[in-house]
Amino acid sequence: MIVKKLYDEYDLNLERLLLNEYARLNLTYEEASILSLMFSLYKKKDSKLSSVIKKTERNKEEVEKILNTLDDKAFISLHTEHNDKGKQVEIFVLDNCFSIIENFLETEEKKEKKEDSEVSKIVLLLEKKMNKTLSVNELLEVKKWFVEKIPTSEIISAIDKFNSKSSLYKISSFLLEEYIEKEEVDEKTKNLLDKLYDKL
């Protein structure tokens, strides 16, 4: 696993990634915090569950519940082994977590490549329509549409509404107002329906 190698040999900061991206990894903040602590212990060659419980301010029952949830979600695996004195010790293994993070990063990279491809498609369409090369500021404006997560189909539709002499900023203004307003209306409608449903 590349991520495991980078963590072991080059000090890749997975703790920060877990705390920043916990929701997209299908974790709660509490689960991400415990996982982050486990990585810190792993770095010190300590994989005992008792160390996890000692190092956190949470009570034992709460930590055990989180550990079991992380095991159920396949982020960690829990095992029992014998130490040098022959005593049974509960330990954690993070191999599954390394794999999940690696898959997450690969998926994110594919998404970025797809977005770059979509941006290029829109830039070519605009340059053809306006019969000119877009400036740096205009390229940044186009990128803003994708940051706002406006679908490519909506962008193409907006471009088609304007003629070749229209400025890109006019298209952008229309597009951002139209799409963001629509999103706000959808959210208001959703909230209204939720309230009505609650009253039933």
Q: Which residue has the tokens 């915090």?
A: 33
Of all residues in the chain, what percent carry a pLDDT higher than 90?
A: 44
In CATH, the number for domain 2-99 is: 1.10.10.10
Q: CA 73 to CA 26: how far, in whole Å?
A: 9
pLDDT tens for residues 111-130? Answer: 888 888 999 999 999 999 88
Helix (H, G, I), strand (E, B) or coil at 134: coil
What is the reported pTM?
0.68
pLDDT tens for residues 131-159? Answer: 899 999 999 999 888 888 888 888 998 88
pLDDT tens for residues 153-196? Answer: 889 988 888 887 888 888 888 888 877 655 544 454 445 445 54
Closest by CA to 68, choosing from 104, 31, 19, is 31
pLDDT tens for residues 21-50? Answer: 999 999 999 999 999 999 999 999 999 999
Q: What pLDDT shows up at residue 199? A: 47
Domain limits, CATH 1.10.10.10, in the chain: 2-99
